[in-house]
Homo-oligomer: A and B are copies of this chain.
């Protein structure tokens, strides 16, 4: 934050400026979700990676805003798809304005992201972010297809996470090297950093959903459970459980039949099998790969900031 604070202010200005439209509902609805306390993690990655590559111009500002628009569009559509009513402690846009404008404003922000990229003029950046957008949508569809499958192999689950979450982290980082014209070795290294960071981020998110600590962040505990989402803690507990426990997961997640006390029971079982603890261990593994991905870049402020991001993404559990 300290390293790229000025840039991030400019990104926020660009975001406000570029969500304007002759349809007043667009800035109103987009403003609600964009203002609602997001960490701006993805644009921050673009800014820090551009800095790491020694670039001194201004192109990262618009492109970081484009990355945040793609992210916001996908959040708006996610909340419709998941029928969520809370995000970051606020009512979601679909609750406040209905599904219709949430879908359409998502489409608008997505198009706007591409307009910003076109104005920037790099076909390579367009390629990276168009690919990421297609992969994200694929990942979300794969998640729907595997939603209630408690027997999903861990690899298949990681494929979903890698697509729906890590693809945008990877793209946000890769374009840092593209902007700085650093060539494909650096591009690949930053993409790998971003992808592993994104996987770690999602695994920690999965764990937080079952963590008491979540409540103190203004989030609700157990959303994934109520939405019958198979996540890593559940996959681990299912494998490690006895017949009774497996029946429990099948009833709650596969069949979606949940009673009042089932979330508590789920948390007990997860605890019993160290499923949360070990999901964080898995996240640490990807965090370590992310850190090592930066190895070939020179030490300095920017590299330190990026490894701090890795630490932050994992340590926010505590």
- Chain A contact residues, CB within 8 Å of chain B: 21-26, 73-74, 77, 80-81, 99-101, 103-105, 107-108, 110-112, 114-115, 117-118, 121, 123, 126-127, 130-131, 133-134, 136-138, 140-142, 144-145
A306 to B100, CA, bound (A): 35
- Can you identify 23 A-B contacts, CB atoms within 8 angstroms? A23-B138, A23-B142, A26-B141, A73-B107, A77-B104, A80-B103, A81-B103, A100-B144, A101-B141, A101-B144, A104-B137, A104-B140, A104-B141, A105-B141, A107-B133, A107-B140, A108-B134, A111-B130, A111-B136, A112-B134, A115-B127, A115-B131, A118-B127
Contacts of A131 in B (CB 8 A): 115
Give the number of copies in the complex: 2
Select which of B99, B115, B134 is within 8 A of A111 by beta carbon. Answer: B134
Cross-chain contact A99 with B81 (CB below 8 angstroms): yes
Shortest A170–chain B CB gap in Å is 15
The docked-state distance in angstroms from the alpha carbon of A82 to that of B123 is 35
A19 to B115, CA, bound (A): 23
List 7 extra interface pairs beyond A80-B80, A111-B130, CB under 8 A.
A23-B142, A77-B103, A77-B107, A81-B99, A108-B134, A111-B137, A115-B130
| Cα–Cα distance between A91 and B103 once the two chains are bound (Å) | 21
CB <8 Å contact, B111 and A25:
no
Nearest CB of B to A118, in Å = 5
Cα–Cα, bound, A107→B134 (Å): 7
**B25 adjacent to A107 (CB under 8 Å):** no
Q: A134: nearest residue on chain B (CB-CB)?
A: B111
Contact A118 B123 (CB under 8 A): yes
A99 touches B99 (CB 8 A): yes
CB-based nearest B residue for A29? B141
Contacts of A101 in B (CB 8 A): 141, 144
Contacts of A22 in B (CB 8 A): 138, 142
Residues of B within 8 A of A121 (CB): 123
Task: Give the one of A23, A26, A104 with max B CB within 10 A.
Answer: A104
Can you name the residue of chain B whose Cβ is closest to the Cβ of A159? B22
A23 to B131, alpha carbons, bound, how many Å? 15
Is the pair A145, B23 in contact by a Cβ cutoff of 8 Å?
yes
Tell me which residues across on chain B come within 8 A of A115, comparing CB atoms: 127, 130-131, 134
Per the bound structure, the CA–CA distance linking A142 and B21 in Å amounts to 10
Contact B108 A81 (CB under 8 A): no
Query: Taking the nearest CB of chain B, how far is it from the CB of A53, in angstroms?
Result: 22
Identify the closest chain B residue to A108 (Cβ): B137
Q: A114 touching B142 by the CB < 8 A rule?
A: no
CA distance A100 to B144 in the complex (A): 8
Residue of B nearest to A113 (CB): B130
**Cβ–Cβ contact A114 & B137, under 8 A:** no
Most buried by B among A22, A23, A77, A144: A23
In the complex, the answer to whether A25 meets B99 with C-beta atoms within 8 Å is no
**B residues near A144, Cβ cutoff 8 Å:** 25, 100-101, 104
Nearest chain B residue, comparing its CB with the CB of A110: B110
